[in-house]
Structure 1
């Protein structure tokens, strides 16, 4: 690690910037982990698309279908392939607390920059704030690496801005991926100031969050490598224009992506997000492959509709 536990917040403010993407994990047709495919994708994302950081082994990456050894290997490959060219944040989310700590310590050991842990699913609990606070506190006390909170509806509740601000006071909490309605993350940003980095996964809200809220970090989802190619880096370009203060140029570039957004969003079956995104990757020349059970594969008709929309969306290959 490049920082101490007590320096984690300052290090993140100085270094956790720009577009960070959530990696899909490619699998072979027999559902084994395609390590070479992941390496190829990471090289493209970092070298060709200039993505600043990668979110590894999250929900997009189907961590829930992976063994503990596979998740650790996922971390190792990401660190090896980014090799100082991009940051890494490893998802250590799990319902088993010991697994969270084992993954967190492995992330530390292999040289990850940060980890992310989602708020736990809590059974029978209707007043979760103290439990969630103590959960993050216990993780913080057992590791030195910087930690991002992650609140999303899949947990069965959303962490309130007040709870997030309370957790943010822990020394090695550095960020939050806050998958909530905009008024909630605006309120949280006002409450925490620069104490932690606040972000959300919506690409369509990213530009406004730079211009209106002064955000420095997109953390993170798959659009950075689904909306872009080596010859068409409009998400990167509008981000850089916004960072430079050229709002009109940034807005114009972002608006030009609307047909691509519509094609990607409009062909995605509600029950098959990972399968759809992996097929879109394949259309872009990246490595996709099947999803693991119990997730469902695309039908031939769904693939054909996606291909037609992709070819008409105006993304330059």
Structure 2
């Protein structure tokens, strides 16, 4: 651990900044984890794209298809490759509380910087506030590592800003990935101030959130390595300009990525997000690989549509 439990908030304020990306996991044709491919991708993301942190074994990474040992190995590879050059936040999310704890303890013991825990599915529960508070409190009581909340419609509900603000008072809660409508995360940002980082995965809102809400952390999805190449780091560039208060210049760079965003949006099959992301990586020269069930692979026709969109999007390889 690089900090004590009660220093977690201060440590995250000082170190959990900039662009953090959610890693897709490459799988081989035999469906095993492509460890060499993952290591190659991480080196590119960190060394060439200057991504400042990685979100490991999340939904982008198909954690739901992985065994506990594979998820732990996923953590280890990321810590080894990131070293002191980039941060790590490990998704330990699971519906089984003991599984969450086991993964969290492994992340903590192996040297991860933080963990992220998805809000649980709460069947039949109508008044969720106390249930959620006690859930995150139980994790905080048992762990020293900094913990990020994660609220997304996949849980079947969205955590209310008031519920999140109460949980934010726990000593080692350091952030929230808040995949909610903008009015909700604006409200929460006002309620918690700089107590914890509030962030959302929508890259097209990142520029506004730096300028209007003074956000310091993009946490996180795949755009940092889908919108950028070694020779074309416009997301990095507009972020740095915005952090420096050069908003007009930053906006111009940000808007220049619209053809890339549009190309991705119009060519992405609605039912194949991970397969699309991996194929786009391959077109960029990264390692993509297979997806596991229940996710679906792309058809050859879908690949052709994506290739055409990619070739006209304007990214410099």
**Counterpart residue number, 2:15:** 15
| Alpha-carbon offset, residue 78 of structure 1 | 0.2
Query: Residue 291 of structure 1 corresponds to which residue in structure 2?
Result: 291
Task: Report the alpha carbon displacement of residue 266 of structure 1 after superposing the two structures with TM.
Answer: 1.2
Q: Tell me the TM-score normalized by structure 1.
A: 0.99
Query: Unaligned 5+ residue runs, structure 2?
Result: none
User: SS at the partner of 2:102?
Assistant: helix
Q: CA deviation at 1:71?
A: 0.2
Instruction: Give the structure 2 partner of residue 3 of structure 1.
Output: 3
Give the 5 Å matches for 1:130-279: 130-279=130-279
Structure 1: which 4+ aligned runs deviate by more than 4 Å?
A: none
Q: What displacement does 1:250 show? A: 0.3
**Cα distance in 1, alignment partners of residues 46 and 315 from structure 2:** 19
**Structure 2 Cα separation of the partners of residues 89 and 31 of structure 1:** 24
In structure 1, the residue matched to 2:121 is 121
SS in 2 for 1:229: coil
Residue 294 of structure 1: CA displacement?
A: 1.3
- Paired positions, count: 317
1:302 matched to 2:306: no
In the alignment, the residues of structure 2 paired with residue 119 and residue 50 of structure 1 have an alpha-carbon distance, to the nearest angstrom, of 30
Task: Give 3-state SS (helix, strand or coil) of 1:225's partner.
Answer: helix
Structure-1 separation of matches of 2:128 and 2:274: 30
User: Partner residue of 2:61?
Assistant: 61
CA RMSD of aligned residues (A): 0.5
TM-score (norm 2): 0.99
CA–CA distance in 2 between the matches of 1:32 and 1:259? 35
User: Structure 1: which 5+ runs fail to align?
Assistant: none
SS at match of 2:150: strand
Mapped partners of 1:221, 1:168: distance in 2 = 22
Equivalent position SS for 1:260: helix
Deviations for 1:194-244, whole angstroms, at most 9, x for unmatched residues? 111100000000000001110000000000000000000000000000001
User: Displacement, 1:153?
Assistant: 0.1
Partner Cα separation in structure 2 for residue 129 and residue 262 of structure 1? 39
